[in-house]
Amino acid sequence: MSGHSCRRMQRVLVQFTRSYSEGGRHYKVVIAGGGTGGCSVGARACRTFGRGNVAIIEPAKHHYYQPMWTLVGAGIKQVENSSALMKDVLPSGCHHYEQRVQEFNPEKNTVILSNGEKLSYDYLVIGLGIQINLNKVEGLIPALKADRNVCTNYVREYVEKTFPAIQDFRGGNAIFTFPNTPIKCAGAPQKIMYLADEYWRKAGVRDKATVMFNTSLGVIFGVKKYAASLMPIVERKGIQLNLRRNLVSVDHSKKTATFELLDSEKGEKITYDYDFLHVAPPMSAPDILKNSTSPIVDASGFLDVNKLTCQHNKFPNIFGVGDCTNIPTAKTAAAIASQNKIVHTGIKEVEAGKQPSGQYDGYTSCPLITGYHHCILAEFGFEGVPLETFPLNQAKERRTMFHMKKDIMPEIYWNMLLKGYWGGPKPYRKIMHLGTGK
Ligand SMILES: Cc1cc2nc3c(=O)[nH]c(=O)nc-3n(C[C@H](O)[C@H](O)[C@H](O)COP(=O)(O)OP(=O)(O)OC[C@H]3O[C@@H](n4cnc5c(N)ncnc54)[C@H](O)[C@@H]3O)c2cc1C
């Protein structure tokens, strides 16, 4: 099909689907989820389409800057530093529905809310995040509730348990896990381990401890360049790296954690005693997407979008942003920095009868904190290709990068990303590399 007929087809499809919008209050843009992605796209949409033309459906009272939870777990920040009232971060020009989306009807351009209300839209943006499934590890919820030595930085309710558990540790087995599922911020399960290791060294208990990283992966980190820097750190710190192990149960009465050996043909398991256990829990696409009867998701249950444009593969007036999409890159807030701009531009282009021109390169970033003053700033795109901002070797541990993570990134998040003024570091990358030939 030629570019011209493709555009015509796109326009006809959007108009066709629009004319089938029925019932309920109508908006130019409806956004499902007011997290990192929902807020940033929402802010841009409000500026473009004007007050009252954008609705955000978000049930939570608070918005959290989740990347700070690693620092909360290490006692560097308080959870309050990561939190804001939802009403204060949602764009002021949007209508906020404090409900859950209960049903997507993409053929009718409507969504049904948990109170039964129906909204119709010209454009729908889905940013529902990734779902944490604590119940997929037998005994984990009781252990998190009852055992002060079991913690996770991944859940608001439990993140404040981590630092007291680190302080409490007097030696024995300290186990850190990485699940056998998609995950947000794939670096977070090991960042807290390096921080705990340093804390225990200073507290004089490290020589009484066996620190182990039990990961379902076959490598320490999925991007070769940074894995090559992390391995010597693991060795220097004397951490036992146990690959291809997936946590399946916790028995807090016996203080044991059981892992399946993923490469065992006989389905063997191994059980460890623990004195400290930090769990990165199993995650999945949100149930509302996974169980949707309409064809909006792929086989894994994640929203099925074009990885370059974030536009839905079947419904041209639907876009996806962030962790709930099947875009093959690491799920981070940093990735949303690039995606939110692409989504917004794509909506404007479809509105003008054009094809979205987005060329998302998969940009994502993981500040791999390796201690209380050091960090490797991993930045990469599709297939793990490094896409670094600074003209220096970012695979090296640096103090500057630690301050970037601790002090500068939160400012960028609250004041730029959530307000739809941050489209990722691409322009800065260009400036930084002027003259370096990159
Ligand atoms: C411990 C930890 C460390 C991290 N570290 C980093 C880091 O260093 N750097 C980095 O870039 N990223 C990091 N991240 C990842 C980052 O926080 C996420 O990738 C990002 O916030 C995802 O944004 P999102 O909009 O996709 O989802 P979220 O921000 O999770 O938002 C999803 C929203 O959808 C809402 N929702 C859910 N279901 C419904 C429904 N049915 N109807 C309506 N609304 C609904 C939720 O209430 C939520 O507000 C970290 C995350 C964690 C947990």
Q: Which residue has the tokens 């909006």?
A: 296
* Residues 267 and 316 both lie in one domain: no
- Among the atoms of ligand 1, which is closest to the Cα of residue 365? 11
Give 10-residue mean pLDDT values along the chain (438 residues).
Answer: 55 49 83 98 97 97 98 98 97 96 97 98 98 98 98 98 98 98 98 98 98 98 98 98 98 98 98 98 98 94 98 98 98 98 98 97 98 98 96 96 97 98 86 68
Given 326, 351, 376, the domain boundary residue is 351
211 and 242 inside one domain = yes
Q: Which residues lie below 8 Å from residue 411, measured CB to CB, with a gap of 6+?
A: none
**Residue at 356 is within a domain:** no
Q: 327, 307 in Cβ contact below 8 A?
A: yes
Structure tokens at 10: 């796109």
What pLDDT, on the 0 to 100 scale, is given for residue 426? Answer: 82
Could you tell me the two tokens for 273?
A: 């005693």
* pLDDT of 20: 44
The CATH number assigned to the domain holding 28 equals 3.50.50.60
pLDDT at 19: 43
Lining ligand 1 with CB less than 6 A are 32-38, 57-60, 66-67, 69-70, 100-101, 127-129, 153-154, 184-185, 188, 286, 288, 322-324, 331-334, 336, 365-367
Considering the domain boundaries, does residue 410 fall inside one?
A: yes
Q: Assess whether 6 carries a catalytic annotation.
A: no
In a domain, 170, yes or no: yes
One domain for residues 138 and 277 = yes
Task: Using the 3D structure, point to which of 256, 283, 310 is the last residue of a domain.
Answer: 283
Query: Catalytic residue among 185, 310, 324, 375, which?
Result: 185
pLDDT at residue 431 in the model? 80
Which of 239, 263, 283 is at the close of a domain?
A: 283
**Would you say residue 358 lies in a domain?**
no
34 CA to centre of ligand 1 in angstroms: 9
Residue matched to tokens 């992605």: 37
Backbone phi, then psi, for 256, in 5-degree steps? -130, 150
Quote the domain boundaries for residue 146: 132-283
Q: Are strands 83-85 and 62-64 parallel, antiparallel or unpaired?
A: antiparallel
User: Of ligand 1's atoms, which has the minimum distance to the CA of residue 73?
Assistant: 1
Query: What is the 230 CA–ligand 1 centroid distance (Å)?
Result: 26
Atom of ligand 1 nearest to the CA of 100: 42
Are both 26 and 92 inside the same structural domain? Answer: yes
- 125 and 155 within one domain: no
Please say if 39 is a catalytic residue: no
Residue-wise DSSP of 245-278: EEEEEEETTTTEEEEEETT-TT--EEEEE-SEEE
Identity of the amino acid at 393: N
Q: Are residues 61 and 116 in the same domain?
A: yes
Of the chain, the end-to-end C-alpha distance in Å amounts to: 36
d(CA 149, CA 171): 12
CA distance 421 to 368: 25
- Kindly state whether residue 437 falls inside one of the protein's structural domains: no
Structurally, how many domains does the chain consist of? Answer: 3
Decide if 357 is inside a domain. no
Compute the distance between CA of residue 22 and CA of residue 229 in angstroms, rounded to an integer: 55
The answer to the question of residue 380 being in a domain is yes
